[in-house]
A and B are shown apart, each in its own frame.
Chain A
Amino acid sequence: MKRFKPRIKIGPTSVTILFFVLSLAVIPRLLPDNYWQSIFSITGVYVMLALGLNIVAGFTGLLDLSYIAFFGIGGYTFAFLCSDHFGIHLPFLLALPICALTAMVSGFLLGLTSIRLKGDYLAIVTLAFAQIFKLLLLNLDAPINITGGVNGIYAFDQVTLLFINIVTPENYSVLIWTCALLVFLVSFRLKASRIGRGWNAIREDELAANAIGINTTRMKLYSFATGAMIAGFSGAVFVSFQDSVFPNNFDFQQLVIVYCMVIIGGLGNIYGVIAGAVVLSILPEILREYGGLRMMIYGVALVSIMALRPQGLFSAIPGFTKLVKRPDKDETGELRASTDLYYSQDKDETDVKRYTKQAIPLLEIQNLTLNFGGLTAVDKLDFCLHKNEILSIIGPNGAGKSTLFNIISGIYQSDQGKVIYKDLDISAYKPHRVAKAGIARTFQNLRLFNELSVIDNIKISRFCRTKAFFFSAIFNLNLNKTEEKETHETAKKILKMFGRRLTGYRYDQKVSQLSYANRRRVEIARAMATGPEILLLDEPSAGMNPQETGEITEFIKELRDRFGYTILVIEHKLNLVKAVSDRVIVMDHGEKICEGSYDDVAKNPMVIEAYLGKKGKSGNQTNS
């Protein structure tokens, strides 16, 4: 089964690095004159800017319209630190990180106020910040002159690096593209790290990301600050090149251009974004002599690209995307269809340890109550889940089963009562802390990260069990290396439990291309990958045919018997419930109406009533 290794890998990464090397070494010497040198330098600045925005908008999906303000903060900080304006003359290499840090801190502070806002509200608040920023730049020249107002600040110190004076556009293009290469590497490393996966998860589904252990608020804040830092860094380099800085440099129109670069390149697609930045910086130059006509062409191009290539201009060019479609044939050349496959055929029976229910309480629900307006969704619920137990919760629609899960997993806060997990009161925990404590869940109506591959969906779950932070991820330190290896292996190990359903070529397949049943499996796998003790499964067999339901029934049993998970499962299919449950709780109108073994419960008249309605008698339904 060993795959042959490709001899020379010509992937997009090597092409991009080659491009950068060429940009640095060859292109500046080939360009005919200072004009093109200068266009080339500005292109480098835009590549940096676009890559930075790509982190915020592309990786994390935040519609950040104040991005251009951080560009400005970096630029103005540089102007303050390296000119006669305040008489401060710091060396370039010292000023540069200070500018980046100032922008980062501003981003962080701004993010603190607004990051909890969703989608378009975040957009408008950040837009308002950007507008205020520009107005301040324009007006803070009186009573004391801080920003220079409309006159801007100009004539900066000459940049000297390694005893070379950076003066000509050619010098600058080398400097700027070196910086762009740095930004590319940072962005590349981050994307491949746990941090990048965390951001992607937030973009795809914030709530699900939170539920598998990602502190979404904090990660969004980091993303915001990272973007701001790169913008500030580019801002400093840019104004140094321009040798002057004005409020107009940071107009809304500039932001629009950078957004166009990122979206035309394809959100989150690093190579596409670089290509987008290059194309959109050079194209307007070619059209410069046409004045008004040039912007008309720009507008039409934008609309057509969005209509014809919604994923960006560079999305489906081979090499620009990694995700693969399902091949029709397997490695042996046989035609294959998903129904031919049956998972767990080659069960590894060496692991003989068998788990059964123990009399140790693991999760205790005490007097839990939650009201939605006038409706009591969960009403004074009490029960206990024991170690290595499979406890099923059944009940008609609207009985409050999923709401119960939402309370346990921290998505809803209960009005009364407690959730105790191993002597720990987790009632007030946010979802990511619940996940980290050891309780993972699946969602009834599937909340996978649809645009990501199967294996990435699983890898994201390892977020809460790994620690590598920015420094480690960017420099690929040992911690990051070991964790990445561990993450990859764990993900594969968990997927292998599902047999060929989710392995092989499926690793790299987009989740949105999977069948419904397979997506359910990925949800379970994703929950398992967070390394939990307790699994909360919300209707694991919904949408499965009888054969698949049989498989999943077996699998749930295996999860406990072989792997030792403690399982709380909501299910409607009673044969599944019957097959797996140690105990069953029946809920109706938010209350527990019955508890016991499957057979006991099945005979209980109240249960029959709840499911089938009252026989003969009508009336006295009091708790609706």
Chain B
Amino acid sequence: MEDIFGQLSQQAINGITIGGVYALIAIGYTMVYGVLSMLNFAHGELYMIGGFTGWWVLQIFSINHVPVMNAALLISLMIVLSMAVSALLGLAIERIAYRPLRKAPRMNLLLSSLGVSIFIQNFILYFQGAKVKVFHISHLIPEGIRTFHVGGVVISFMRIIVILACFFLMVILTLIIKKTNIGKSIRATAQDIEAAAFMGIDTDKIIVIVFLIGSALGGAAGILVSLLFTQVDYYVGFQAGLKGFTAAVLGGIGSIPGAMAGGLLLGICEAMAVTFFPSAYKDVVAFAILIAVLIFRPQGLMGERIREKV
């Protein structure tokens, strides 16, 4: 019995880490959905690009896997640059593939984003190769603090960094959305893009900002996961995107707190499920939860129910 308890608390830690990452990805989906009502299939690729950027930064600033600067500084630099590159790429995608289609049927946008996703994935495959890029991080973390034991539960240093970074980014985002003028404009645009435009909000600018923020968070998720699992390859975006997307819908698509809650919930459920089922059924459990939630609460956990206007 105690065994099960110990295992479950360990799984909770595993779940919170991966859940935090899902949440970061889900936020990107949800924000874009909020303003454009489109599912951005290319979002998973921004996550992948975040990981690759981080790898290159690490590669450039270390000699024989030994960093040439302070480790904390290097990790921050990796995160910041990954976010920047992903954000710029997100911006470019919006400009090239989505803006020309603003008025087109929604399915076209969906397909265009799929095209972008296929392109980026294979672009990386072609120019970076199919081989996994390995992060050599042992020199980034001092020897004694790589893992912590709390009771029977083991937490690694990187997990703590990932959890903290995820929550830090989520808090910052919440502050931006709640307190600043830009946040207000984003909320207004998400509610009704036309009305927001009538009120003098430059909605084009808001869409650009939303893509910037969403993509940056996707990139951050990418580098954090890569640091945690020490590897990235060209194919990681698809699965991550699918999970982020699931988390976004679970929480109620369009709702930022929903995305956060959805991500954490999904991560924890998945980890817990492994304890009780063969791990092959982990995703079955995740998707079954999603289906159940949507059937009983079609707007997701924290989404708003909208009465159709006639």
Contact = CB atoms under 8 A, between A and B. Distances in A.
Instruction: Decide if A and B touch, CB cutoff 8 A.
Output: yes
Interface of A: 57, 63, 113-114, 116-121, 123-125, 128-129, 131-132, 135-136, 138-139, 207, 256, 259-260, 263, 267, 292-293, 295-296, 298-303, 306-307, 310, 372, 402, 406, 411, 443
8 contacts: A117-B295, A120-B33, A124-B246, A125-B294, A135-B281, A135-B284, A259-B114, A292-B122
Nearest to A444: B310
A131 B281 CA distance: 11
Contacts of B100: 307
A166 B210 CA distance: 57
Given A124-B290, A135-B284, A443-B310, A306 B39 contact: no
Given A120-B253, A299-B118, 12 more contacts: A121-B294, A125-B290, A128-B291, A129-B291, A138-B280, A298-B115, A301-B115, A302-B111, A303-B97, A303-B112, A307-B97, A310-B101
Find the residue from A116, A117, A306, A406 having the highest chain B CB count within 10 A.
A306
Contacts of B283: 131-132, 135
Contacts of B115: 298-303, 306
B281 A267 contact: no
A411 B308 CA distance: 10
Given A131-B283, A310-B105, A207 B111 contact: no
A116 B245 contact: no
Contacts of A121: 249, 253, 294, 298
A345 B70 CA distance: 89
B125 interface: yes
B111 A135 contact: no
B295 A57 contact: no
A66 to B, nearest CB: 11
B73 interface: no
Contact of B104 (A131, A296, A306): A306
A139 B280 contact: yes
B126 A296 contact: yes
A298 B122 CA distance: 10
Interface in B68-115: 96-97, 100-101, 104-112, 114-115
Contact of B112 (A116, A307, A411): A307
A292 B126 contact: yes
A150 B246 CA distance: 25
B104 A310 contact: yes
B288 interface: yes
A139 B278 contact: yes
A484 B80 CA distance: 65
B287 A263 contact: no
A121 B97 CA distance: 24
A117 B112 contact: no
B56 interface: no
A426 B112 CA distance: 46
B157 interface: no
Contacts of A406: 310
Contacts of A443: 310
A593 B308 CA distance: 28
Interface in B268-304: 278, 280-281, 283-284, 287-288, 290-291, 294-295, 298
A121 B108 CA distance: 17
Interface string B115-127: 1111111110110
A128 B246 contact: yes
Interface of B: 33, 37, 39, 96-97, 100-101, 104-112, 114-123, 125-126, 242, 245-246, 249, 253, 278, 280-281, 283-284, 287-288, 290-291, 294-295, 298, 307-308, 310
B112 A306 contact: yes
B200 to A, nearest CB: 24
B107 A57 contact: yes
Contacts of A293: 122, 126
Given A113-B295, A306-B111, A310-B105, A123 B97 contact: no
A169 B125 CA distance: 34
B310 A402 contact: yes
A117 B291 CA distance: 11
Contacts of A207: 308, 310
Contacts of A307: 97, 100-101, 112
**Max chain A C-beta neighbours (<10 A), residue from B278, B280, B291:** B291
Nearest to A134: B283
By Cβ-Cβ distance, the 4 closest A-B pairs, closest first, are A302-B115, A299-B119, A299-B118, A128-B287
Contacts of A267: 105, 107
A120 B39 contact: yes
B147 to A, nearest CB: 32
A116 B298 contact: yes
Nearest to A300: B119
A325 B211 CA distance: 39
Contacts of A119: 106
Contacts of B126: 292-293, 296
A125 B291 contact: yes
A306 B109 CA distance: 8
Given A117-B298, A302-B111, A295 B249 contact: no
A96 B28 CA distance: 45
Contact of A298 (B118, B245, B308): B118
A405 to B, nearest CB: 8
Nearest to B33: A120
A296 B242 CA distance: 21
B107 A139 contact: no
A372 B305 CA distance: 13
Nearest to B283: A135
A114 B298 CA distance: 10
Contacts of B242: 131
A299 B105 CA distance: 19
Contacts of B246: 124, 128
Contacts of B290: 124-125, 128
B284 A136 contact: yes
Contact of B284 (A125, A132, A372, A402): A132
A491 to B, nearest CB: 25
B112 A295 contact: no
A372 B123 CA distance: 53
B295 to A, nearest CB: 6
B201 to A, nearest CB: 24
Between B33, B281, B288, B298, the greatest number of chain A beta carbons within 10 A of the residue's beta carbon is seen for B298
Contacts of B123: 296
A299 B117 contact: yes
A295 B39 contact: no
A88 B253 CA distance: 46
A129 B283 CA distance: 11
B299 to A, nearest CB: 8
Nearest to A128: B287
A117 B244 CA distance: 20
Contacts of B33: 120
B280 A123 contact: no
Contact of B108 (A114, A136, A263, A299): A263
